[in-house]
């Protein structure tokens, strides 16, 4: 009775099915290797934790933060973007702290669209996008991400009569772990500017890159008509802190600030302080975290390939995206795998129709556990 059409439109999650399957496996005495959730299992840097601990004992941090109080974090975010991507931003008008990228996206869509507007949304995609789009009342125009195109969309295939208000992209990508070049973002930004479309780039995996690969920023294509969402959840293993920032087009950032002004008072000052410090740490700190995920990738991917699974070696992100031989119903496969082997994966269908036939492995366990997971799955498939 007390559900709005907006609330009812938010899609349910298949993760409750996975939860139930894990419980049944536990009930049968299996130990669970949970690779279904993309939450970093590493710790934030010690100096960041120390800064937060100190802040919690400082009464000056207990009050509601005002916009002016967000300046140190805005400055740190702008300095980070300059250092990492050589992008120059006005920290007063082009940067805004977020309570995570997920919160930022939901409010940004409310800030820059009206109900009935169209959004170009990749398929497969990070499932909360679908909820944010439903809350904003948008019409989804699906942008297929196909393996033969390296999971990059073909913007030239979008019909001329489609005039989306927003194009949403995310590279390094969840769930496919695909990456995009600087030239790709330049083309996407030009395509958007021609149509009066806002390009939103969700960039939480900016620093989770392997070897010499470095992920570009969409803001390298200019800030007009482009907003990028950054998060410290994966880059600094601070998912539970709920902190990130939006950067880019000053008009969109101002609209976002208005909407957020009706909803929240910015992150806790202690967390802002910790996040600002994290963004200023030497690049090697992020590199060390990323190398842990790279080792896991190197343990998992060849083991899957030796089973004959089709899986690319990711250059970034914390996922491997694999097509399971002979599987056309990824939800049934993932539920069975969890129940029979204790290995919990995300079914590709959870990320949209375009994910069918695939599963996503989150690299959130040590190499030996990942290899153990593959051994168990091999028995299931045998
Ligand atoms: C593509 C993508 N965007 C956003 C998020 C959430 O980021 P945050 O923790 O900053 O809300 C995730 C988390 O998995 C993600 O994969």
Last residue of a domain, one of 266, 283, 300: 283
Confirm if 160 and 191 have CB atoms less than 8 A apart. Answer: no
Q: Is 174 in the pocket of ligand 1 (CB under 6 A)?
A: yes
Could you read off the pLDDT of 158-168 as tens digits, one per residue? Answer: 998 888 999 99
Residue among 77, 178, 234 whose CB has most ligand 1 atoms within 8 A, to mutate? 234
Examine the domain organization and report whether 192 and 271 are in the same domain: yes
Q: Using pLDDT thresholds of 50, 70 and 90, give the confidence band for residue 381.
A: low
Q: Is 99 in the pocket of ligand 1 (CB under 6 A)?
A: no
Q: Which domain holds residue 22?
A: 5-43+286-381
Question: What pLDDT, on the 0 to 100 scale, is given for residue 13?
Answer: 85
The total number of residues shown for the chain amounts to 382
Taking CA atoms only, the protein residue closest to ligand 1 atom 14 is 38
Closest by Cα among 131, 104, 120 to 6? 131
Q: Is 231 in the pocket of ligand 1 (CB under 6 A)?
A: yes
Could you read off the pLDDT of 200-255 as tens digits, one per residue? Answer: 999 999 999 999 999 999 999 999 999 999 999 999 999 999 999 999 999 999 99
CATH of the domain at 173: 3.40.640.10
Q: What is the distance between the alpha carbons of residues 153 and 120, in angstroms, rounded to a whole number?
A: 10
Distance (angstroms) between ligand 1 centre and the Cα of 378 equals: 31
CATH of the domain at 359: 3.90.1150.10
Residue among 233, 237, 314, 318 whose CB has most ligand 1 atoms within 8 A, to mutate? 233
Could you read off the pLDDT of 304-345 as tens digits, one per residue? Answer: 999 999 999 999 999 999 999 999 999 999 999 999 999 999
Q: Is 233 in the pocket of ligand 1 (CB under 6 A)?
A: yes
Could you read off the pLDDT of 256-301 as tens digits, one per residue? Answer: 999 999 999 899 999 999 999 999 999 999 999 999 999 999 999 9
Structure tokens at 52: 């937060």
Distance (angstroms) between ligand 1 centre and the Cα of 379 equals: 33
Residue among 202, 227, 242 whose CB has most ligand 1 atoms within 8 A, to mutate? 202
Side-chain-facing half-sphere of 11: CA atoms under 13 Å:
15
Q: Is 102 in the pocket of ligand 1 (CB under 6 A)?
A: yes
Examine the domain organization and report whether 271 and 377 are in the same domain: no
Distance (angstroms) between ligand 1 centre and the Cα of 204 equals: 6
- The region, left, alpha or beta by phi > 0 then psi within -120 to 50, assigned to residue 244 is beta
Examine the domain organization and report whether 95 and 197 are in the same domain: yes
Examine the domain organization and report whether 290 and 355 are in the same domain: yes
Examine the domain organization and report whether 292 and 358 are in the same domain: yes
Examine the domain organization and report whether 90 and 215 are in the same domain: yes
Examine the domain organization and report whether 32 and 147 are in the same domain: no
Instruction: Calculate the CA 118 to chain-centre distance.
Output: 21
Question: What pLDDT, on the 0 to 100 scale, is given for residue 382?
Answer: 61
When mean pLDDT is compared across 5-14, 61-70, 189-198, the lowest value belongs to 5-14
Judged against a pLDDT cut of 90, whether residue 111 lies above it is answered with yes
DSSP class per residue in 14-42: THHHHHHHHHHHHHTTPPPEE-S-----S
Q: Is 126 in the pocket of ligand 1 (CB under 6 A)?
A: yes
Q: Is 170 in the pocket of ligand 1 (CB under 6 A)?
A: yes
**Mean pLDDT on 164-189:** 98
Q: What is the distance between the alpha carbons of residues 380 and 336, in angstroms, rounded to a whole number?
A: 9
Helix segments in 67-181, DSSP class H: 71-85, 101-112, 128-135
Residue among 128, 130, 231 whose CB has most ligand 1 atoms within 8 A, to mutate? 231
Q: Is 98 in the pocket of ligand 1 (CB under 6 A)?
A: no
Q: Is 101 in the pocket of ligand 1 (CB under 6 A)?
A: yes
Examine the domain organization and report whether 220 and 149 are in the same domain: yes
Question: What pLDDT, on the 0 to 100 scale, is given for residue 262?
Answer: 95
Last residue of a domain, one of 283, 303, 336: 283
Q: What is the distance between the alpha carbons of residues 61 and 69, in angstroms, rounded to a whole number?
A: 10
**Mean pLDDT on 40-54:** 97
Q: Is 317 in the pocket of ligand 1 (CB under 6 A)?
A: no
Q: Is 239 in the pocket of ligand 1 (CB under 6 A)?
A: yes
Examine the domain organization and report whether 55 and 178 are in the same domain: yes
Judged against a pLDDT cut of 70, whether residue 66 lies above it is answered with yes
Q: Using pLDDT thresholds of 50, 70 and 90, give the confidence band for residue 380.
A: confident
Domains in the chain: how many in total? 2
Last residue of a domain, one of 253, 283, 313: 283
Examine the domain organization and report whether 107 and 27 are in the same domain: no
Q: What is the distance between the alpha carbons of residues 274 and 279, in angstroms, rounded to a whole number?
A: 9
Examine the domain organization and report whether 278 and 300 are in the same domain: no
Examine the domain organization and report whether 261 and 143 are in the same domain: yes
């Amino acid at each position: 009775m007390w559900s709005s059409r907006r609330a009812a439109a938010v899609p349910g999650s298949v993760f409750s099915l996975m939860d139930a399957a894990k419980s049944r496996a536990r009930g049968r005495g299996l130990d669970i290797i949970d690779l279904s959730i993309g939450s970093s299992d590493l710790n934030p840097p010690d100096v960041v934790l120390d800064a937060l601990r100190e802040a919690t004992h400082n009464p000056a941090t207990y009050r509601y933060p005002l916009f002016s109080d967000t300046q140190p974090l805005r400055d740190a975010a702008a300095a980070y973007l300059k250092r990492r991507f050589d992008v120059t931003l006005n920290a007063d008008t082009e940067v805004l702290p977020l309570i995570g990228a997920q919160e930022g996206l939901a409010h940004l869509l409310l800030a820059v669209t009206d109900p009935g507007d169209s959004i170009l949304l990749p398929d497969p995609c990070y499932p909360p996008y679908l909820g944010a789009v439903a809350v904003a009342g948008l019409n989804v125009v699906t942008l297929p991400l196909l393996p033969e195109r390296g999971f990059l969309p073909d913007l030239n295939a979008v019909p001329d009569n489609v005039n989306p208000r927003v194009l949403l992209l995310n590279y390094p990508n969840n769930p496919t772990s695909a990456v995009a070049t600087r030239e790709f973002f330049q083309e996407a930004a030009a395509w958007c500017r021609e149509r009066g479309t806002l390009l939103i780039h969700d960039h939480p995996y900016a620093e989770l890159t392997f070897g010499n690969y470095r992920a570009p920023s969409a803001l390298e294509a200019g800030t007009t008509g482009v907003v990028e969402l950054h998060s410290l959840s994966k880059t600094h293993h601070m998912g539970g802190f709920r902190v990130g920032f939006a950067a880019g087009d000053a008009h969109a950032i101002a609209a976002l600030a208005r909407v957020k002004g009706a909803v929240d008072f910015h992150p806790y000052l202690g967390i802002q302080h910790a996040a600002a410090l994290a963004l200023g740490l030497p690049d090697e700190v992020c590199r060390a975290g990323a190398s842990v995920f790279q080792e896991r990738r190197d343990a998992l991917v060849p083991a899957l390939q030796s089973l004959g699974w089709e899986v690319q070696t990711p250059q970034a992100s914390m996922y491997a995206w694999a097509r399971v031989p002979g599987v056309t119903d990824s939800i049934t496969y993932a539920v069975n795998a969890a129940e029979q082997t204790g290995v919990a994966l995300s079914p590709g269908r959870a990320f949209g129709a375009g994910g069918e036939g695939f599963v996503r492995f989150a690299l959130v366990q040590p190499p030996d556990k990942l290899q153990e997971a593959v051994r168990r799955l091999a028995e299931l498939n045998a």
